[in-house]
Structure 1
Amino acid sequence: MHVGPVTIDYDVLIEGMKGDVGFTSKEFVDAFQYSLKSLRKIMGAQENSQPFIIPGGGTSAMESVTSLLRKDDKILVISNGVFGDRWEKILSRYPVHVKTIRAKPGDYVTPDDIEKEVSKEHYNMVTMTHVETSTGIREPIYEVSKKIRNYVDLIVVDGVSSVSAEEVKMDNIDVFLTASQKAIGTPPGAGLLVLSENAVSRLSDNSIAGYYLNLKNWIDVMKSMEEGRAAYFSTLPVHLILMITKAFKLIEKEGIENRIRRHEKVAAAIRTGIEGMGLSIVAKHPEAYSNTVTGVIVNKVNPSEVLKEIVNEGIELAPGVHPDLAGKYFRIGHMGWVNENDAISTIAALERVLSRLGEPIRLGEGVRSTQLYLSKGNISNL
């Protein structure tokens, strides 16, 4: 129950256990073609959009966005936490002007505040984080993008902790990106992103991008592969892409809507259990609860001790990484192939561990609350 890399389905893992699949082989080209087409569907993108799967991870996908920027462009970063701040850290290395609007821990920057800022000054790009992994906060990106569409050139969304677990659609959005090791449910090693037609038109030799993560160097490979023809710029993570293909097939079989509902149900069950045992959640507003990450605040115990002890119960959680909440919380990841039994196991193990460590909780009430939620659908109706 980590925030990523997540537990991986065995059928997905087995796809990567092949000894001699070349990057120009028909097997690989077919797999890559399927994955590119599937990525476009999962992102809710138009047919004229361009999908990319590049080596690296979420951060490589983020940095590749410099392919769309030119010297002295102005970027507005919307940050709800550590990974929102990462946009600032990446872009500040380049010859562009960056301004950041930050929310306090557990909160989010409101659509009205963002609209107010972009109406005062023209920005070439606005970046947002759909689900802030450090706090579990979900930004209302669709409301924001609708409000600011006519003010800015490019709207970019980090969906590293949202894609295939939250509703994702590219309406009014120019770049939607993610990573392989999160809700898609495969090992780390790939950055996945889709560019709108508007974004593709910004690719040029005048961008500030470097070489390896310059999407202009990758686009012909992506187009060729999607047409079923092998192409090369730099070696792709062959075996990982075979696993991504299998994951996309499993997602297609489950149905993306069903997958999102499953994540929503498991997330709500876990939060109900946390609150049932008497603990608080980092996210302050229910409308900003995410389907993939929940931050849990403890009052007495050291959260690092909780993580250490719960591993002995067979469950791995994630440490809190927001500096303003250091020593006050830990995180539960609930994404990928998680199910209702995972929610029950997590809450049960947490109760045992917290009780042993001396955290004041209502022992047994967390499991009871979770069970009631899962059996009835909504505990408030009981």
Structure 2
Amino acid sequence: MIQKEKRILMHVGPVNILDRILYAGLKNNVGFTSPEFVQAFQFSLKKIRELFQVDKTYQPFIIPGGGTSAMESVTSLLKEGEKVLVVTNGVFGDRWINIFKKYPVQVNVLKAEPGYYVEPETVEKEVKREKYKLVTFTHVETSTGVRQPIRESVKAVRDYVDLVVVDGVSSVGAEEVKAKDWNVDVYLTASQKAIGVPPGMGLLVLSSNAIEKLKEEKSVAGYYLDLRNWLPVMTNMEDGKASYFSTPPVHTILMLAEALKIIIDEEGLDNRIKRHEKIAGAIRAGVEGMGLDIVARKPEAYSNTVTGVLVKKVNAGNVLSEVISEGIELAPGVHPALQGKYFRIGHMGWVTENDAISTIASIERALKRLGEDIKLGEGVKATQLYLAK
């Protein structure tokens, strides 16, 4: 009972949230025109630029919903009949396909096998073969933990397409992201992943090139997620003037401001990325130390935020049930090709070295009880040795 109450959320989002961030949202009688809210919104927009490593040539947005709402808002940049190329490494890369197929645009797909990413050379060959208005990449594929080499991928296509869009839902705040230097037009994320805030917001930045596309009248976008409707709110709020299109998630934005203050001003973005990298490496060392394999097949594809773990004998779902009884919550494997064969460890946000050790220890005990052939104790040892470097 006590272990269940003291749960460690090693999920792929939502994640553990600092009490300080939760308390920032516990304010009564705050409306969307209240001075403290306008100030929090203004502060958040400015810090989002730093989070994505862009300057004032990029426009930040905070919209209700989450990663999927941010993704669907990209339809604001498309007209009927235009061609889109989706580069996908798994389930959430595939989500772009499902979104765009709801609209009158043409969709082509380049897809990787589970555990791999689509090579930049493959994408370059395709955009040379056919003219596309927009190409989407997924920085970290949440379903497998595979990281796409975004810098190289964007460089490979930049001269051949009008717009480059990157889904950074499971990367921003934990992986290196340089939207301006890499010449990305739209980089997006969600509040509940590496930024470490409750769910409810899609966060994105648009280049001046993308903003010019918003000025064009015709678009396939709907109403609520048409960024044209949100743009005046963003520009006004950044100027400190209350503005309205639809009711924003007021208290979640208060929490976002507190989180961004910690990320940018206190921990520092570079330090945060290094922390994630170290903990991710420690967890992978533990997984391999106990004798299991990782879903991502190449070390350069390992991410700082998600590790997929393959099991050999037991059903992966049983591992989750066993581990959560000890107070640690992991994420199920969702890739159809690997159903029942793997589970996911989320290590993002406010994750600590002790969280990594507790997670590997609990997984070892659970697997031993379930009958998986592992080297009991070797996982924890490998994790400790990695962290002690």
TM-score bin, normalised by smaller chain: over 0.9
Partner of 2:131: 122
Partner of 1:348: 361
Partner of 1:33: 42
Alignment partner of 1:254 out of 267, 275, 288: 267
Mapped pair 1:189 → 2:197? no
Mapped pair 1:210 → 2:219? no
Partner of 2:6: none
* Structure 1 residue 19 displacement after superposition: 1.2
Partner of 1:146: 155
SS in 1 for 2:256: helix
Q: Deviations over 1:194-241 (max 9, x none)?
A: 000000000132011010000000000000000100000000000000
Q: TM-score, normalised by structure 2?
A: 0.96
Mapped pair 1:136 → 2:145? yes
Question: What amino acid is the match of 2:382?
Answer: S
Residue correspondences, number = 376
Question: What amino acid is the match of 2:196?
Answer: G
Alignment partner of 2:253 out of 224, 232, 241: 241
* Structure 1 residue 266 displacement after superposition: 0.3
Distance 1:141 1:115 in 2: 13
SS in 2 for 1:177: strand
Distance 1:40 1:209 in 2: 25
Partner of 2:235: 223
Mapped pair 1:179 → 2:186? no
SS in 1 for 2:236: helix
Aligned counterparts, 1:64-103, within 5 A: 64-103=73-112
* Structure 1 residue 46 displacement after superposition: 2.2
Distance 1:297 1:69 in 2: 39
SS in 2 for 1:154: strand
Distance 2:217 2:43 in 1: 29
Mapped pair 1:201 → 2:212? yes
Identity of aligned residues (%): 66
Alignment partner of 1:283 out of 296, 304, 310: 296
SS in 1 for 2:348: coil
Query: Unaligned stretches of 5+ in structure 1?
Result: 377-382
Cα RMSD over matched residues? 0.5
Aligned counterparts, 1:361-380, within 5 A: 361-376=374-389
SS in 1 for 2:234: helix
* Structure 1 residue 147 displacement after superposition: 1.5
SS in 1 for 2:128: helix
Question: What amino acid is the match of 2:82?
Answer: D
Distance 1:231 1:343 in 2: 43
Alignment partner of 2:19 out of 6, 10, 23: 10
Distance 1:112 1:247 in 2: 38
Query: Unaligned stretches of 5+ in structure 2?
Result: 1-9
Q: TM-score, normalised by structure 1?
A: 0.98
SS in 2 for 1:294: strand
Question: What amino acid is the match of 2:293?
Answer: S
Distance 2:164 2:135 in 1: 5
Q: Deviations over 1:32-88 (max 9, x none)?
A: 000000001100112111000000000000000000000111000000000000000
Distance 1:270 1:11 in 2: 26
